[in-house]
């Protein structure tokens, strides 16, 4: 029997409090990490401006960081834009994911709850000329847990996809490496000519509009697929 001073829902309420508190802890860790991404990006743009002046760059090749709200900012350079988006919700890593087999997760299941920062690549002209049909690509996402440990899912061409969840921790140095590798991947991920058969037919309505408003999709590589790294870890 339940005593008069004990709620019959005590265990339920305790579970709600514990899980919600844990998720708030993960959210705070992710928010702090996202703040680091913003700070490092700002520092990088300042350093870029100083370097460009020393090199006496003839053409206008700026690098700019711009905030778009609490959970989004962009980094523009050359003909590209990188969007960094922090999701406001917390996610649990799927049971069939390789990370779930690690001893790091088995020691504490709460470590499998993560916040996510997505990194998308778009062409700068897509926004400049309001080309709504153009494509952007998810080139990586950073998953961060309550301990500010993280791993990255993304294109292996980034040069390093941190898979060691136990030992990889968000720091100014690690964030700098992530952003640097992302930029390097982006500038090597070039715009390819679309297949001829895809653009050989144009409607009268499309031709009446300006080139910027045509329904031609412009993207770096149509058919691009996102492959997470499949290597395991301890």
State the pTM of this model.
0.81
β-pair type (137-144, 113-123): antiparallel
Mean pLDDT of 39-47: 97
pLDDT digits (tens, 9 = 90+) for 55-105: 887 778 889 999 999 999 999 999 999 999 999 999 999 999 989 999 999
Q: Which residue has the tokens 């300042």?
A: 46
- In terms of residue numbers, what domain contains 159? 15-213
pLDDT at 160 over 60: no
In a domain? residue 127? yes
What share of the chain in percent tops pLDDT 90?
56
In a domain? residue 62? yes
The confidence score (pLDDT) of residue 134 equals: 81
State the total domains in the chain.
1
Confidence band, pLDDT 50/70/90 cuts, at residue 168 = very high
Q: How far apart are CA 187 and CA 185, in angstroms?
A: 6
pLDDT digits (tens, 9 = 90+) for 180-232: 999 998 988 776 666 777 666 666 666 666 555 555 555 555 433 333 433 44
Tokens of 42: 């700002």
In a domain? residue 177? yes
Cα torsion 46, 47, 49, 50: sign? positive
pLDDT at 122 over 50: yes
In a domain? residue 8? no
DSSP-derived secondary structure letter, 191: P
Quickly list DSSP for 85-111: EE-SS-EEPPTTSGGGGSHHHHH-GGG
Let me know how long the chain is: 234
Contact of 111 with 147, CB cutoff 8 Å: yes
In a domain? residue 171? yes
In a domain? residue 219? no
In a domain? residue 222? no
Q: How far apart are CA 195 and CA 18, in angstroms?
A: 54
In a domain? residue 109? yes
Q: What's the mean pLDDT when you consider all of the chain?
A: 84
């Amino acid at each position: 029997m339940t005593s008069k001073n004990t709620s019959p829902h005590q265990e339920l309420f305790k579970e709600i409090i514990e899980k919600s508190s844990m998720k708030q802890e993960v959210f705070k860790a992710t928010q702090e990490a996202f703040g680091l991404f913003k700070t490092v990006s700002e520092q990088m743009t300042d350093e870029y401006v100083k370097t460009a002046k020393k090199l006496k760059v003839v053409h206008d090749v700026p690098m700019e960081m711009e905030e778009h709200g609490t959970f989004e900012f962009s980094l523009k350079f050359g003909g590209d834009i990188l969007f960094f988006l922090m999701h406001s919700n917390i996610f649990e890593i799927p049971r069939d994911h390789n990370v779930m087999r690690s001893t790091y997760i088995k020691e504490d299941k709460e470590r499998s709850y993560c916040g996510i920062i997505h990194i998308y690549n778009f062409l700068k002209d897509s926004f400049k000329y309001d080309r709504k049909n153009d494509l952007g690509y998810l080139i990586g996402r950073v998953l961060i847990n309550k301990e500010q440990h993280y791993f990255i899912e993304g294109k292996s061409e980034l040069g390093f996809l941190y898979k060691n969840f136990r030992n990889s921790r968000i720091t100014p140095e690690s964030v700098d490496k992530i952003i640097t590798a992302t930029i390097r991947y982006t500038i090597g991920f070039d715009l390819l000519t679309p297949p001829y058969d895809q653009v050989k037919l144009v409607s009268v309505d499309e031709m009446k509009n300006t080139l910027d408003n045509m329904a031609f999709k412009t993207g770096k590589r149509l058919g691009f697929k996102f492959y997470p790294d499949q290597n395991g870890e301890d």
